[in-house]
Amino acid sequence: MKNELLAGNGPVISSRKRTATKAVEGQHITPASPLYRNPYVIGAGLGVLSWIVFAVVNQPLGTSTSLSAASGACAALFVGWDEVFKNAYWTKHPATWDYGSLFLIGTMLGAFLSAFASGSFRIEKVPKVWSQGFGHSTTVRFVAAFVGGIIVMYGARMAGGCTSGHGISGALQLALSSWIFLAVMFIAGIASALLLFRKLNQRKGSGL
Partner 1 sequence: MTLPIETPLRELLAIPLGIIFGVLLHRGGVTDYNVIVNQFRLKDFTVAKIMFAAIVVGGAGVLMLHKLGYAQYHIKPANLLGVSLGATLFGIGMVLYGYCPGTGLAAVATGSLHALSGVVGMLAGGALYALTFPWVEAKIQSVGQLGKVTVPELTNIPGGAWFLLLSLVLAVVLYQDRNKTSVEQKP
Q: How far is the CB of 6 from partner 1 (least distance, A)?
A: 19
Q: Which stretch binds partner 1 (CB under 8 A): 3-11, 16-24, 161-169?
A: 161-169
Contact in structure between 160 and 145 (CB atoms under 8 Å) = no
* Window 87 to 126, contacts with partner 1 (CB under 8 A): 87-90, 97-100, 102-115, 118, 120-126
Q: For partner 1, which residue of 19, 54, 81, 94 counts as binding (CB under 8 A)?
A: 54
Q: Single out the segment in contact with partner 1 by CB under 8 A; choices: 3-11, 18-26, 32-40.
A: 32-40
Q: Does 201 bind partner 1 (CB under 8 A)?
A: yes
Tell which residue, 97, 108, 110, 95, has the closest CA to residue 65: 95
Angle between helices 64-79 and 99-117 (to 10 degrees): 110
Does the footprint of partner 1 cover residue 10 (CB under 8 A)? no
Q: Is 11 in the site for partner 1 (CB under 8 A)?
A: no
Provide the Cα torsion 98, 104, 109, 112; round to 10°.
-170
Nearest CA to 40 among 51, 52, 48, 32? 48
At closest approach, how far in Å is the CB of 94 from partner 1? 11
The one among 8, 26, 94, 155 contacting partner 1 by CB under 8 A: 155
**Candidate residues 42, 83, 199, 205; the one interacting with partner 1 per rule CB under 8 A:** 42
Contact between 193 and 199 under an 8 Å Cβ cutoff? The reply is no
Q: How far is residue 78 from each of residues 94, 138, 147, 182, 205, measured CA to CA in Å?
A: 16, 28, 21, 36, 50
Q: Of these, 37, 80, 83, 136, which contacts partner 1 (CB under 8 A)?
A: 37
